[in-house]
Structure 1
């Protein structure tokens, strides 16, 4: 019986050895045979683990894409049920494609599962440079900068969306993460285009009850970060001197913008006379 067991084991070992590439010259001792068997088994296990890992990555990727496709399918069903006009359907599909980049995820749930410190680091990585581009935000204490950045809220605007309208109350400013917007005076004259990294509407943060002096319209699909006055004032409350300085800068900017608009109005009026 023992002899049969040994012969079976050696038969299996010989198969393994032949598969490892020894050819006609085999190992010379039992120890070498055992070592070769162990190496062969470990190599096969590593191969199985590698294949399993690759399959997990493929599955995760296809799962995110599948969820996005399913979400778009539900969106189309919703639009059909509501009998939305074609132009509105196109805008909705454009929004979803830009928002999710054809791969479904729930950012709010992801951020909710990580620590406050890590969540803060992610937000700072995404938005710190945007905030530091604002003249009166430069050289702020790091603790205050963190408080301001944590107040930002992401928003997506489609082509021709009116982001802010002149002569309406303002209570927030915007930072452009991506995209291009056009700025118009209250009289309707285009002033300029603003692109990635720019900002607008900062006067509304510190000048309560002031009307917007310009309109801003999305030229392409834009991702903006909104900072509301209420949250900004709460964040900067421990720094009253800094708030006074920001208010002075904002008042100067508003005065210059108003002067430009008045000049444009007079120029347009004189053209009509002639």
Structure 2
């Protein structure tokens, strides 16, 4: 902007009628003063166009100034509108929470957990899940390709699925769901029936056994609960969120519905899962 003002001031000097009562520095300062007040649409009127050339030049500079301001205002408005949409999402849900509390009542601790969840969403500057919001706007073909691109690598982390066909991996990828947990949320408890497995994307989880207490900490890139996909089994530990944590979850029934399309592969996968379980228990 400063460079543009400099060159526009130089242009004005070239159109200035000859003057012997003024030095070059003063002439440049006056021209720069005229340029800035014209670009900023202030226009005090103390420096005016005297020739037709200056009049035409003034109109060009005015149009340039309007364009620059339009561009700046448009960018600022774009930034504010994005922030406003996230803020509006936050406040709308806080109002809904207040309405439910006043009409139906909720325990204070549950209210706090809901507020904590939306505080986290707000701090991340998105109105809901970024991924889900993007997918909701895409046609079916693009939605499928995006899901596969984002999720197939985490699926191949499961040893039993490492060498599975590409089509099977793609079908499973479309079944993954995003789940967010706040601190102290229990993902599942030891002894309950397993019906999902999870891939940890962000945050930290602790693994707890009744006999041994805390036995491990899970970090991004870890997965857990996979045996629930292959057999009817109870959870052998409790998983609790230490921080705000984001995961992909894969439902057992969705997984089995995909395997029905690949009966030959399903038997191989189940055998690999049993072998891994056997080696882990030894």
Give the corresponding residue for 2:98: 76
Q: 1:160 to 1:56 in 2, by over 3 A?
A: closer
Q: Does 1:177 align with 2:201?
A: yes
Q: What is the CA–CA distance in structure 2 between the aligned matches of 1:181 and 1:102, rounded to whole Å?
A: 20
| Pairing of 1:91-170 with structure 2 (within 5 A) | 91-101=113-123, 103=125, 105=127, 111-170=135-194
Return the TM-score normalized by structure 1: 0.71
Q: Does 1:234 align with 2:257?
A: yes
The CA RMSD over aligned residues, in Å, is: 3.5
* 8 Å CA contact retained: 1:156, 1:221: yes
Give the corresponding residue for 1:217: 240
Instruction: Give 3-state SS (helix, strand or coil) of 1:155's partner.
Output: strand
Instruction: Give 3-state SS (helix, strand or coil) of 1:242's partner.
Output: helix
Q: Quote the offset at 1:186 in angstroms.
A: 6.5
Give the corresponding residue for 1:251: 274
Q: 1:46 to 1:123 in 2, by over 3 A?
A: same
* 8 Å CA contact retained: 1:213, 1:257: no
Q: What is the CA–CA distance in structure 2 between the aligned matches of 1:236 and 1:38, rounded to whole Å?
A: 71
- The answer for unaligned runs of 5 or more in structure 1 is 1-12, 260-274
Q: 1:81 to 1:128 in 2, by over 3 A?
A: same
Q: What is the CA–CA distance in structure 1 between the aligned matches of 2:166 and 2:55, rounded to whole Å?
A: 63
* From 53, 64, 72, the counterpart of 1:51: 72
| Pairing of 1:178-217 with structure 2 (within 5 A) | 178-185=202-209, 187-207=211-231, 209-217=232-240
Q: 1:67 to 1:96 in 2, by over 3 A?
A: closer
Give aligned pairs, total.
241
- The answer for unaligned runs of 5 or more in structure 2 is 1-14, 17-30, 37-45
* 8 Å CA contact retained: 1:186, 1:213: no
Return the TM-score normalized by structure 2: 0.69
